[in-house]
Amino acid sequence: MNLLDGKLVSSKIKEDIKQEAAAFLKAMGRRPHLVAILVGNDGASETYVASKMRNCELVGFESTNIHYEEDITEELLIAKIKELNADNQVDGLIVQLPLPKHIDPERITEAIDYRKDVDGFHPINLGRMQRNLPCFIPATPYGILLMLQYYGIDTAGLHAVVVGRSNIVGSPMSILLARNSSPGNCTVTLTHSRTKNIKEEVLRADIVVAAIGKKHFITADIVKEGAIIIDVGINRESSTQTKSGYKLYGDVDFEQVSSKASWITPVPGGVGLMTIVGLLKNTLDAAKGSVYS
């Protein structure tokens, strides 16, 4: 078993981003700038946004966290997004999900200028991604591709099974792995909660991308010997054994599955760290105008 070490890869890529950000500052007289909007007081969301802001600081970006109470109206939120869209000093703009029930996430996503959509969720970015055109790729799938690339894993001709069809991870991941690119050129099966015989599908996979949001859903008995296992799951459970008061578990039973896998990501220390890298790279590209000039 070889570890797909998100800590190692992310630190190396962030060092490259830091150097590029310093060159951008020298050339442009300002830093790449990411704005994150957080609505409400969801503990996990607050943790994620704080991590994004901290990582911006580490690589030399400017970052702004705008925090609204849960009762903000959809209209006021969209008005703020439009204001940030028009601000030439803002390169990347993200609205942390999930949002309160009275706010339609699709309307919010579509309100963001696709040229500042560094989360890669806007329909224009998703459409361009499907056609293999320059775009901002959703940060988690982008991070996974960067990890596979770093380790030089040749995915061409392999059978990939993606477990989970979310617009954030599962669906874009299935498209990216099937594209005529590297990493890519896989035969892809996209499975989800309604898939019949889902375990038999996983057992056929050379690559498993687990993004279904269920603790230890992928067990050793449904994994083929030598499979590449990418665990996107972040399942929080209360714990008295940690300072934070909770413990993170993946969608994969790492202890069992690692003995059969050729490559595997840990949780924590795997895909989550690469998601941040994907976001930082998108933000840098947005600042440089290298995707949309």
Sequential DSSP letters for 147-186: HHHHTT---TT-EEEEE---TTTHHHHHHHHHSSSSS---
Residue among 115, 138, 95 at smallest CA distance from 274: 138
Q: Which two tokens stand for residue 41?
A: 């007081």
Q: Residue 232: what pLDDT?
A: 97
What is the distance between the terminal CA atoms of the chain, rounded to a whole angstrom?
43
Give me the mean pLDDT over the 179-185 stretch.
Answer: 95
Contacts 24+ apart (CB under 8 A), 193-201: 198/163, 201/161
> Could you write out the DSSP letters of every residue in 181-214?
SSS---EEEEE-TT-TTHHHHHHT-SEEEE-S--
The alpha carbon of 61 is separated from its chain's Cα centroid by a whole number of angstroms, namely 19
Which entry of 14, 91, 96, 117 is annotated as an active-site residue? 96
pLDDT tens profile 99-113: 999 999 999 999 999
What average pLDDT does the segment 23-28 reach?
98
What percent of the chain clears pLDDT 70, i.e. is strictly above it?
Answer: 100
Which residues in the chain are classed under CATH 3.40.50.720? Answer: 139-273
pLDDT in tens, 115-157: 999 999 999 999 999 999 999 999 999 999 999 999 999 999 9
Instruction: Determine the Cα–Cα distance for residues 96 and 238; give it in Å rounded to an integer.
Output: 23
> Which one of 14, 80, 116, 119 is the catalytic residue?
119
What average pLDDT is seen over the chain? 96
| Distance (Å, whole) CA 38 – CA 95 | 6
Question: Counting beta carbons within 10 angstroms of the beta carbon of residue 40, is it exposed (0 to 12), middle (13 to 18) or buried (19 or more)?
Answer: middle
**Residue 96 a catalytic site member:** yes
Given a cut of 80, is residue 284 above it in pLDDT?
yes
Active-site position among 52, 80, 116, 281: 52
What's residue 128's pLDDT? 96
Q: What is the DSSP string of 76-140?
A: HHHHHHHHHHT-TT--EEEEPSP--TTS-HHHHHHHS-TTT-TT--SHHHHHHHHTT-S-PPPHH
**How high is the pLDDT of residue 243?**
77
Q: What is the four-CA torsion angle of 218, 153, 6, 42, rounded to 10 degrees?
A: -50
Could you give the C-alpha distances from 88 to 8, 34, 82, 169, in angstroms and in order?
A: 34, 12, 12, 29
Q: Does domain 139-273 have CATH number 3.30.160.340?
A: no
pLDDT at 238: 78
Q: How confident is the model at residue 236 (pLDDT cuts 50, 70, 90)?
A: confident
Which residue(s) pair with 88 in the sheet?
none
Concerning whether 256 is annotated as a catalytic residue, the answer is no
Assigned fold of 28-114: Rossmann fold (3.40.50)
Residue found under tokens 């008995």? 221
Residue 242 confidence class, pLDDT cut points 50, 70, 90: confident
Region 72-79: what's the mean pLDDT?
Answer: 98
Is the backbone of residue 87 left (phi > 0), alpha (psi -120 to 50) or beta? beta
Closest CA to 182 of 153, 140, 139: 153
The share of the chain scoring above pLDDT 90, in percent, equals 93
Q: What pTM value is reported for the model?
A: 0.95
**The pLDDT value given to residue 84:** 98
**Which residue do the tokens 């959703």 mark?**
138
With cut-offs at 50, 70 and 90, classify the pLDDT of residue 43. Answer: confident
Please list the residue range(s) of the chain that carry CATH number 3.40.50.10860.
28-114
Confidence of residue 270 (pLDDT cuts 50, 70, 90): very high
Nearest to 95 by CA among 82, 87, 86, 148: 82
Judged against a pLDDT cut of 90, whether residue 39 lies above it is answered with yes
pLDDT over 80 at 239, yes or no:
no
Q: Mean per-residue pLDDT for 159-165?
A: 98
pLDDT of residue 240: 76
Mean pLDDT of 30-40: 98
Mean pLDDT of 177-195: 96
